[in-house]
Structure 1
Amino acid sequence: MVGDRLPNLQRYIDTHPGEKIACNGSALTIIFCENATSLDTCDPYFMNAWRMGEIRENQAITGLTSNAIKDNLFSKYLKAGGILSRNSTADEPEPNADQMYVTADMTTSFIILIGVFFPSVTGK
């Protein structure tokens, strides 16, 4: 996690097969900075998260005691292209195609509808 956002590492992995990325600020500069040797070219949200020590690796599947159910109890709707984050804030910048964060799209919403909602209401 970079702050409250989920980084989209798949784009980097697709273009650099076999390379592994550590989950720390210095390793992620190759993704979030135009020039990895100059921190002036980095994504501002990434730099703020790095300075605040908010870059961390989370378990993909958490246990029941992790409050995951409580955290996701209420609906959180995003417009297409909105950056997925744990806590939406009004002062987030508009996302662009070059950013390395996971964004909402129609495919995500459709998968959740088909894979989660329909089975839960139909029992199949």
Structure 2
Amino acid sequence: MSYHKQLGRRGEAVAAEFLQKKGYEILARNFYYKKAELDLIVFKDEVVVIVEVKTRNSDFFGDPQRFVTPKKIKLMVRAADAFVQQKQWNYELRFDIVAVVLNSKQRQITHITDAFYHF
């Protein structure tokens, strides 16, 4: 597995642990729908939260969350819709970003709630 993929998987594990400590229940990890992947799907306070995890080893080129593109958002919305329809849920849906900076000297986690709207 490439370094980039390993870093991403480590970041997802860090984000999942972080969210669990905040009281979120992990419903699914790495849900795939066509060309889209949902990193984490979590649940808290009657809300299903789709979480995009962005991991970098530094913030030299900018904060990780800045790399969530409009194309990525469009794919995530389609995948989230498929997931919710598959489960036949009627819960409120929210999109969050967890930005993780991981390296030998730093472990920084930023949780952005309601990162974008799906309408």
TM range (shorter): under 0.3
Bigger relative contact order, structure 1 or 2 (CA pairs below 8 A, ≥6 apart): 1
| Structure with the larger strand share | 2
Length-normalised TM-score, structure 1: 0.24
TM-score for both structures, normalised by structure 2? 0.25
